[in-house]
Amino acid sequence: MSMTDIYSEQTKKRNENRCNLLRALHFNGSLTKTAISDCCNLRKSSITNIVSELLESGWIIECSPGRVRSQLMLNPDSWFFMSVLLTRENLTLARVNFLGDMDIILTDEIKDTSPKVLTEHIASAIKANRNNEFPEVVAVSFPGIVDAQSGTVLYAANFPGWSNIPLGDMLYDRTGCKVKITNDVKAQLLAEGWFSHIFKQSDNVMLLNISGGISCAMFIHGQEVIGAQNSAGEIGHIAAGDEGKLCSCGKLDCLEAYCSIPAMIKMIRESFPDVEECKTASDIYALMKNERRVENIIERCCSRITRVLAPLMAAIDPKLLIVATEFCDFSSFIAQALNNYLKIELAGLSSRDIDITISQPVSDGALRGAAVVLIEEAFATGIISGNTING
């Protein structure tokens, strides 16, 4: 083995050790060097060297500066990550730190979703709001089928014309920033795992998103399920009825055409023409509290979702199902309804109750999850915006 190979292996091992140390601080909170050594199974001498570099670079701080056995923690003020979320209606840009604390910087109405115009819109928002506190990397959370490796939007049912669009490259050309593209629902599950530490409960988890569309994201044995076509969990366009309802994808009777939030609102308005305010999940929940028939509509939607969801759950057998909408009280109602229906649909598979919980609002999760993509890369490489940890 040449000296170059030896140096390369040493560098690789040092990067792995640093990454494990940073992850230990993230998932366990503040720790002493001794606790880090035990947690990461590393020699104290190795820990000491890495800690010195991380303290010098500002990535971590001492909880009790000057004390020999001071606990260490990630520095929440050291770096901020820029996340962008796209929905049918809005472009939202946020600032997220290592700990998941988030500030919304911009919410801008989307008037034209065509690839060229929307790409320019995103690029303008990034350029107008970037400054020295952000790394030269941005993450975009996109509601569609995404090839995260190439930064390509393969297909987006609610964004006409978005087929095989190299969004990452297009934004780089316009901003000079490296841009990571991720699916919005997969980002939500990343946020739950990274900031809510949901993977401590189980490493077999499914998240169900009910918003402008319907989709799932999954981790099985701690590994993200992506699929051969990058479309694992895309249940929104499975046939789920025979009433001839037109879906945004152009086909008839997709689950999304019956049970997405816009579909629920349409059914409520058709049943109650005098309803004045019904535009969001929060509005639906408010109406449910005063009108049992609205609750019945949502119950029927949950029953229909369950008939599509149950075979997927039977196939992958998740320990935990997370329900995500834009309004937590509505998510709780959906979760309870799904729990009741899943007990019936999966009765032959298990006698235990289905473990179901709710997520943070979908937009918050998608923005924080996009930041996780950047944080994970920073932990692995030791590089943020040209700031490289020595080694």
Number of domains comprising the chain:
3
Q: What local confidence, expressed as pLDDT, does residue 2 receive?
A: 54
Task: State the Cα–Cα distance between residues 261 and 301, nearest whole angstrom.
Answer: 10
Mean pLDDT calculated for residue range 205-230: 96
The vertex-144 CA angle with 143 and 149, nearest 5°, equals 110
Considering the domain architecture, whether residues 347 and 266 belong to the same structural domain is answered as yes
pTM exceeding the 0.85 threshold for the entire prediction: yes
Show the tokens assigned to 81: 């990550």
Tell me: pLDDT of 44 over 90: no
1, 11, 357 from 8: Cα distances, Å: 11, 5, 44
CB 159 within 8 A of CB 118: yes
Considering the domain architecture, whether residues 97 and 9 belong to the same structural domain is answered as no
pLDDT digits 0-9 by tens, 329-384: 999 999 999 999 998 888 766 545 678 999 999 999 999 999 999 999 999 988 76
Considering the domain architecture, whether residues 355 and 218 belong to the same structural domain is answered as yes
CATH number, domain with residue 377: 3.30.420.40
Please, what is the average pLDDT of the chain?
91
Tell me: pLDDT of 188 over 60: yes
CATH number, domain with residue 46: 1.10.10.10
For residue 138, with 0-12 CB atoms within 10 Å meaning exposed, 13-18 middle and 19 or more buried, which class applies? Answer: buried
pLDDT digits 0-9 by tens, 275-320: 888 999 999 999 999 899 999 999 999 999 999 999 999 999 999 9
pLDDT digits 0-9 by tens, 60-98: 999 998 787 899 999 998 888 999 999 999 999 999 998
Q: What are phi and psi of 140, to 5 degrees?
A: -115, 125
Angle between helices 281-290 and 292-316 (to 10 degrees): 120
Q: What are phi and psi of 324, to 5 degrees?
A: -130, 125
Q: What local confidence, expressed as pLDDT, does residue 4 receive?
A: 54
Residue 141 DSSP label: E
Show the tokens assigned to 369: 């999850």
Considering the domain architecture, whether residues 355 and 377 belong to the same structural domain is answered as no
CB 83 within 8 A of CB 93: yes
Q: What local confidence, expressed as pLDDT, does residue 351 receive?
A: 47
Task: State the Cα–Cα distance between residues 149 and 337, nearest whole angstrom.
Answer: 37
Q: What local confidence, expressed as pLDDT, does residue 353 receive?
A: 65
pLDDT digits 0-9 by tens, 121-176: 999 999 999 887 777 789 999 999 999 999 999 999 999 999 999 999 999 999 99
Considering the domain architecture, whether residues 292 and 337 belong to the same structural domain is answered as yes
Considering the domain architecture, whether residues 88 and 144 belong to the same structural domain is answered as yes
Q: Which of 74, 94, 122 is the endpoint of a domain?
A: 74
Considering the domain architecture, whether residues 227 and 324 belong to the same structural domain is answered as yes
Considering the domain architecture, whether residues 245 and 298 belong to the same structural domain is answered as yes
Show the tokens assigned to 294: 């609205």
Buried b (16+ CB within 10 A) or exposed e, 224-258: ebbeeebbbbbbbbbebeeeebebbbeeebbbbbb
Q: What local confidence, expressed as pLDDT, does residue 5 receive?
A: 52
Q: What local confidence, expressed as pLDDT, does residue 3 receive?
A: 44
Buried b (16+ CB within 10 A) or exposed e, 263-286: bbbebbeeeeeeeeebebbbbbbb
Considering the domain architecture, whether residues 267 and 211 belong to the same structural domain is answered as yes
Q: What local confidence, expressed as pLDDT, does residue 133 receive?
A: 72
Specify which residues 391 forms β-bridges with: none
Considering the domain architecture, whether residues 219 and 311 belong to the same structural domain is answered as yes
Centre a 10 Å sphere on the Cβ of residue 295 and count the other Cβ atoms it contains. Answer: 17
Tell me: pLDDT of 191 over 60: yes
Considering the domain architecture, whether residues 201 and 339 belong to the same structural domain is answered as yes
Show the tokens assigned to 58: 């500002």
Full domain range(s) for residue 60? 3-74
Q: What local confidence, expressed as pLDDT, does residue 12 receive?
A: 85
Q: For the chain, what percent of residues have pLDDT higher than 90?
A: 77
- Considering only CA atoms, give the Rg of the chain: 23
Considering the domain architecture, whether residues 344 and 233 belong to the same structural domain is answered as yes
What is the dihedral angle through the alpha carbons of 67, 71, 74, 77, rounded to the nearest 10 degrees? -40
Tell me: pLDDT of 226 over 70: yes
Task: State the Cα–Cα distance between residues 384 and 379, nearest whole angstrom.
Answer: 9
Letter for the amino acid at 183? Answer: N
Tell me: pLDDT of 386 over 50: no
